[in-house]
Amino acid sequence: MRAFVTGASGLIGSNLVRELLAGGCEVRALTRVTSAPAALRGLAVESVTGDVLDDPKTLTNLMRGCDWLFHAAAHFNYRNDDMLEATAITGTRHIIEAADSAGIGRIVVTSSSAVFGSCSAPVVRTECDKPSTDFVEPPYILSKIRQDKLAEDLGRERGLEIIFACPTMTVGPHSAALGPSNGIIVSYLNDPLRLTYPGGCNITSVQDVARGHVLAASLGIPGEHYILGSANLSWLEIHSLVADHCGVEQPQIQINQTLAFSAAAFEEFRAKLQRRSPLVTREQARMTGRYYWYSSDRAIRRLGYKPRSARMALAEACGWLASSPHISRKIRATMLLSKEVYIARRGEVADEAL
């Protein structure tokens, strides 16, 4: 079996490549010229250079001979950005058209649990839910909703077997860029006030999400969506777990949306001066008080998906981040990692050795 993976240097893509290799698949990874090589360094993978925005004929030639396509490429940020729409819509159209021309039998599109909306109350949502009409989601989520519809339409028009993997907030190792998911951990560690806020999300391990993608390719029903998550937690619970794992102060103050918006505006200003991506944005602050809580029952029942606990997922992410360039030496000096984090780090080293 040979798999073609887009977005192979990203958080989900790089872990998906590892999962496929561990299962005996040959992997052809699509990476852009500007992609950092560290995410795939040392892996027995065939790397091809290209972009989902390339002409479909060019992409078709890169895909020939592959049996599965995993479309994990995404422009993941919570800022207004022209690349959101281009990657989600134009890129997805190009990739699916190319896969059809290349004769690929199964396509797994990396969607998002957020396409099923969120609530102002702690309500768990499923694949049967629709986005709420009383709240306009940030541009990134809206782009994923449009991507979903486009892929569904193309699948019906062309008679393609397209399955949708819908991860919740995914944390863990290997991505060269920090990204908003692991960024929630770093943002808390960088916050001297140890702020938290109302609302919550579903946290899951990127290794489980990668395994869920492979299960979807093997056992998924074409046209179906599968939420890949673990536990639903409040932001207070998430920040408390990060504090436990990293040996820093517990959350001290819970702020409302107005204060969260002001703090995000200041972080965006500071990031601009420092020429880096902001750890939080005003678009994220608009989500304060919302519950992005989801059920993975369909994936568990139909695919045999077995996620680890959110606590362990955060331990693995904290362990990887602690030795990454995403945490400064100054912040690292204040951390006292928990026993769970060290156990998770030993497991990661063992996996890498294998």
| DSSP character string of 309-321 | PHHHHHHHHHHHH
Residue 309 is predicted with a pLDDT of: 96
Of 190, 207, 196, the residue nearest 313 (C-alpha): 207
Structure tokens at 200: 């919550």
Give the angle 43-46-18 at the CA atoms, nearest 5°: 40
Of 159, 76, 61, the residue nearest 110 (C-alpha): 76
Contact, 203 vs 314, CB < 8 A? Answer: yes
pTM given for the model: 0.93
Q: How far apart are CA 181 and CA 231, in angstroms?
A: 15
Q: What is the residue-level pLDDT of the chain in tens, covering all 354 positions?
A: 999 999 999 999 999 999 999 999 999 999 988 777 778 989 999 999 999 999 999 999 999 999 999 999 987 766 666 778 888 999 999 999 999 999 998 999 999 999 999 999 999 999 999 998 889 888 889 999 999 999 999 999 999 999 999 999 999 999 888 888 999 999 999 999 999 999 999 999 999 999 999 999 999 999 999 999 999 999 999 999 999 999 999 999 998 888 888 888 888 888 888 888 787 888 888 888 999 999 999 999 999 999 999 999 999 999 999 999 999 999 999 999 999 999 988 766 545 544
Contact, 188 vs 252, CB < 8 A? Answer: no
Residue 78 is predicted with a pLDDT of: 60
3-state helix, strand, coil split of the chain in percent (to 5) is: 45, 15, 35
| DSSP character string of 275-316 | TS--SS-HHHHTTTT-EEEE--HHHHHHH---PPPHHHHHHH
Which domains, ranges and CATH numbers included, belong to the chain? 2-238+287-353 (3.40.50.720)
Residue 353 is predicted with a pLDDT of: 45
Of 220, 210, 222, 217, the residue nearest 299 (C-alpha): 220
Question: 43-82 as b/e, with b when 16 or more CB fall inside 10 Å?
Answer: eebebeebbbebebeebbebbeebebbbbbbbbbbbbeee
Residue 287 is predicted with a pLDDT of: 85
Give the three-state DSSP class for 344: helix
Residue 28 is predicted with a pLDDT of: 97
Helix axes 11-22, 206-219, angle to 10 degrees: 60
